[in-house]
Amino acid sequence: MTKTDDLFSTALRYLGVYRLYTRVLESEIKGGPMPKHIGVILDGNRRWAQERDYPEWMGHVFGADKVESLLEWCLEYKIHSLTLFALSTENLSRDPEELKSIFQIIENKLQKLIDGHYVHKHRVHVKGLGNPDILTPGVRSRLEILEKESENYSDLYLNFAIAYGGRMEIVQAVRKIASEVSKGTLDPLSIDEKKFSEYLFTSFLPEPDPDLIIRTSGEVRLSGFLLWQSAYSELVFMDVYWPGFRKLDFLRAIRTYQSRQRRFGR
């Protein structure tokens, strides 16, 4: 057997095990409670590329491609809302050339959604969460097009948290509330948790609070992602870089979610 034959045989064995384990996971989660809203912190693009001696920007390209697979899995398992943490306000302090590449990749993916039939075929409601004023004109304009074209869809809510920070979101909500109170259009005594949530970026969602938050790359923190909304979210931290995230990992996260008892403080 040649070296090529040996590698091919190993690949076939791996695919067989992978498919078998995937089927096992599918059977295990079948009939269990499914999360309605999943948030994903897309982490590890650069480290994935570095370990393969690729330029760092290639990690972002492969990471962006992986989002397409995630969307298919969410549709397959009838997840109603998906919020992706793609770029934080803190990330904007990175090297300008890297940021230029990231924004161009995001712009290209958004344009692909505009040009294709995916959004309309699956009735996907697209929304950007964050500060649009600090996005590049190309990203901002494409998000606006997608938001307008999909505003009446509700089969899947796809939210891109770009130039987003949880603290920033809360501060902006407080400012809006303070402005309405000062104008006399809002009674301070009417402000409770439900009322406050109406001023957050996720207020339009049927399920504004994610049931499950997944973070890839092995890091164990939220990094400001949906700070208010995640108070009772189930958190799953996975030791796999985002470009290497597989359907198998997605199913494992859901199985973990199903294994937990959600008491909501009760």
Query: 193 exposed, middle or buried (CB, 10 Å; 0-12, 13-18, 19+)?
Result: exposed
Q: Which residue matches tokens 């948290």? A: 161
Print burial letters for 32-57: b (CB count within 10 Å at least 16), e (below 16).
eebbbbbbbbbbbbbbbbeeeeeebb
Question: What's the pLDDT at 257?
Answer: 97
Q: Where do we find the tokens 């995230």?
A: 245
Catalytic residue among 53, 91, 133, 211: 91
Residues 6+ apart with CB under 8 A from 136: 103, 107
pLDDT of 2 strictly over 50: no
What was the pLDDT predicted at 131? Answer: 93
Identify the CA nearest to 68 among candidates 103, 32, 38, 112: 112
Please give the pLDDT value at position 140. Answer: 97
pLDDT for 134 beyond 50: yes
Does the pLDDT value for residue 20 go beyond 60? yes
Catalytic residue status for 91? yes
Bridge-based pairing state of the strands 212-215 and 234-237: parallel
CB 109 within 8 A of CB 86: no
Please give the average per-residue pLDDT across 97-105, as a whole number.
Answer: 93
In a domain, residue 12? The reply is: no
Task: Indicate the pLDDT class of residue 7, thresholds 50, 70 and 90.
Answer: low
Query: Which run of H or E residues covers position 118?
Result: helix 118-121
Look at residue 45 and tell me if it is in a domain: yes
Number of independent structural domains in the chain: 1
Q: What is the mean pLDDT of residues 53-64?
A: 95
pLDDT above 90: percentage of residues in the chain? 86
User: How much is the pLDDT for 261?
Assistant: 84
Parallel/antiparallel/unpaired status of strands 37-41 and 212-215? parallel
CATH number of residue 56's parent domain: 3.40.1180.10
Does 90 score more than 70 pLDDT?
A: yes
Segments forming the whole domain that contains residue 246: 31-259
The one catalytic residue among 5, 6, 43, 95: 43
Of 147, 157, 169, the closest CA to residue 226 belongs to: 169
Lateral strand order in the sheet of 234-237: 124-129, 156-164, 81-88, 37-41, 212-215, 234-237
Q: Summarize the confidence of residues 170-198 as an average pLDDT.
A: 97
Residue 17 lies in a domain: no
* CA gap 236, 191 in Å, rounded: 32
What is the average pLDDT value for the chain, to the nearest integer? 93
Q: Are 146 and 110 in contact (CB under 8 A)?
A: yes
Tell the burial category of 212 from Cβ atoms under 10 Å away from its Cβ (0-12, 13-18, 19+).
buried
Q: Is 19 a domain residue?
A: no
- 25 within some domain: no
pLDDT of residue 44 exceeding 70: yes
**What pLDDT digit, counting tens, does each position of 203-249 carry?**
999 999 999 999 999 999 999 999 999 999 999 999 999 999 999 99
pLDDT beyond 80 at 106: yes
d(CA 169, CA 221): 18
Does 142 reside within a domain? yes
Angle between helices 137-150 and 96-115 (to 10 degrees): 30
Residue 23 lies in a domain: no
Residues paired with residue 257 on neighbouring β-strands, in sequence order: none
Residue 102 domain-assigned?
yes
